A and B are shown apart, each in its own frame.
Chain A
Amino acid sequence: MIDALRFETTRIRTLRSTYWLIGLGLLLTAGVALIITLATIDEPLDDNLVRDTLTGGGEFATFIPIFMAIIGIFAAGHEYRHGTIQPTLLAIPQRTTILTAKVTIVMVTALLVAVASLAINFGVGALVWGEAPDITSSPLNDALLGYIVLVVIYGALGVALAQLFRGVPSAIVVLLITPMLVEQLIAGLSMLDALDWLQPALKFLPFAAGTRLLATEDYTHTDGPDFDYLDRWASGGVFAGFTLLVLLVAWLLFKKRDA
């Protein structure tokens, strides 16, 4: 396993896309943080404002999670797109080991980037506000921790989707289409009287559940479907469970299919 981790570490470090995805993610998120702080400079600091600043958009903070998912997609998808799966498996034939190493290294990368992004945005906020916000009290501390967990899960999901589809484009499409179109469509349909039986299931929509990791207050159904999400960590568990399921299917197919 150590050898596979060293292989994957070298693989991710020797790819230029790793650096521009991380750099762009940090830069864009810091830019959003700067815009939020400048736009709200006269408002009192509350949990929502601090969370939105530090994560670069709160529940709409997508740059870092998506970019980490793309790094995960590249980790597995490039192997098939460029045919490197052959030399990879000739060096490390144990398929479970190499897939585990890929997921591990991407998750660690995502963790470091999420923490770095929070730190940068904290600096941006402190600079503009002229004071360092308190991030140790609940629910802000839990929301920030949830943000890190969300980013890490997105990274793992990227690997899982690319391994499942054995390529880059399909994985990116699923990653973007599912939360933006499919889950939005189901939520919208559940607001029709004839389909309101869908509402209890909405809490299990994985991407929507994942965003609850960043929540600082309960979900209110003003102008939206009438249902209650699971609590923060249970919702995170739904997203993690979905990712694990995709990863499990991808792993089984990886073991079974020809390389």
Chain B
Amino acid sequence: MITVQGLRKRYGNKLAVDDLTFDVQPGVVTGFLGPNGAGKSTTMRLMLDLDHGAGETRFDGRRFDEIRHPMHEIGAVLEAKAFHPTRTARNHLRMLAAGSRIPRKRVDEVLDFVGLTGVRGKKPKGFSLGMSQRLGLAQAMLGDPGTLILDEPANGLDPHGIHWLRDVLKTLAGQGRTIFVSSHLLSEMSLMADELVVIGQGKMIFNGEVDVFVRQFTQSTVLVKTPSATDFAETLKGMGATVDPAPDGGLLVSGADASVIGELAHRDGIVLHELATRSASLEEAFITATGASEEYVAHDVTAGPPPETPPPTDSQPVQETGDDTTDKPAGGAA
């Protein structure tokens, strides 16, 4: 179990990590989400004593610097290509094994595990990003640790690789290990993670189960298809529901569940062709939850040309304003 208490990191005037406190439980995959620049990597570096800051991280009750051979207990990869380009994959792992009293045969085991046996004698300078990620995972698994901390491990992996990684991490979690993994691939995270830590601008936004996060930050909608759409929309609005046109025809209704809408249609004698609850995705929840804390915001191509006013100076992060998501409470933080 990882216990993070009051992590804080400041770069000059910018507070990169602001009093983060959370636990990462064993036996489940905990996803670590946040927009670009939210402080995810800095948080992971603070947890592993690579960066200096305030607060404390304990791994099964011990600080990182109190663990005699960390690789036996914590496997971590924070950069995909953190190896010498001309030192072979096998020698890279042998070097780390030598410093951690890990038997040399374990090197070949983990290379086989990640599917790199065929290139174990090759120099990593020719590795693709996906192969580099696999070597990173082999490095993390070298000491057969009970805790894995991985920063964007799915970057560069092909669909088969992503599927494989998901299975690996879920299997490792199933063995009782503590898995803490950041990713920008939200669809993948929704399939992989059981718990989430979501941060924005260094602050905690959410810490809890994925389903709770999605429910808390989104609203389910109901797709209604009827030949009497105009009349029925008025009826629905009259009972307080919000009605929007669906992209592929029909109505998207929020604020009323499917059973209520069905009964209303029956009462008014409205013919329904389709009535389906549409659950929100993790991506929608993430965008809602973190919309106010995006560090870098590009122009929306669907929103017309960029404004004529000059952009803010680079010392002032661009903030999304006027968004109805900005007033969402940063609740749920543990």
Contact = CB atoms under 8 A, between A and B. Distances in A.
B95 A10 contact: yes
Interface string A100-135: 000000000000000000000000000000000000
A3 B69 contact: yes
B86 interface: yes
A92 B99 contact: yes
A229 interface: no
A7 B95 contact: yes
Interface in B72-101: 74, 76-79, 81-88, 91-92, 94-96, 98-101
Interface size class of B (residues with CB under 8 A): 35 or more
- The CB with the most chain A CB atoms within 10 A, among B51, B92, B95, is that of B95
A83 B69 CA distance: 21
B71 A91 contact: yes
B49 A14 contact: no
Nearest to B11: A258
A258 B53 CA distance: 9
B95 A14 contact: yes
A15 B87 contact: yes
A4 B87 contact: no
A258 B139 contact: no
Nearest to A78: B84
B303 interface: no
B78 A91 contact: no
A7 B45 contact: no
Nearest to B76: A90
Given A3-B69, A91-B71, A83 B79 contact: yes
B84 A91 contact: no
Given A7-B98, A90-B71, A93-B70, A84 B86 contact: no
Given A90-B76, A93-B70, A14 B96 contact: no
A4 B100 CA distance: 8
Contacts of B76: 90
Interface size class of A (residues with CB under 8 A): 20 to 34
A248 to B, nearest CB: 19
A13 B331 CA distance: 53
A84 B84 contact: yes
A259 B91 CA distance: 23
A178 interface: no
Given A14-B87, A15-B87, A91-B96, A86 B50 contact: yes
Given A4-B99, A93-B65, A84 B45 contact: no
A221 interface: no
A18 to B, nearest CB: 11
A86 B149 CA distance: 13
A14 B45 contact: no
Interface string B40-75: 000001001111100000000000110101110010
Contact of A82 (B52, B77, B82, B101): B82
A100 to B, nearest CB: 13
Contact of B49 (A3, A78, A89): A89
B96 A87 contact: yes
Interface in B164-211: none
Nearest to B101: A3
B126 to A, nearest CB: 15
Contact of B83 (A16, A84, A90, A258): A84
A9 interface: yes
Contact of A259 (B50, B88, B98): B50
Contacts of B48: 89-90
B139 A14 contact: no
A256 B52 contact: yes
Contacts of B45: 258-259
A11 B69 CA distance: 18
Contact of A258 (B51, B87, B99): B51
A91 B86 contact: no
A40 interface: no
A9 to B, nearest CB: 7
A86 B74 CA distance: 13
Given A15-B87, A16-B86, A93-B70, A87 B100 contact: no
Interface in A232-259: 256-259
A94 B85 CA distance: 25
23 contacts: A3-B69, A3-B100, A7-B100, A9-B98, A10-B99, A14-B88, A16-B86, A17-B86, A82-B85, A87-B77, A87-B83, A87-B96, A88-B99, A90-B50, A90-B76, A91-B70, A92-B100, A93-B49, A93-B70, A94-B65, A256-B52, A257-B52, A258-B50
Interface of B: 45, 48-52, 64-65, 67, 69-71, 74, 76-79, 81-88, 91-92, 94-96, 98-101, 139
Q: Which 3 A/B pairs are nearest by Cβ-Cβ distance?
A: A7-B99, A14-B91, A83-B82
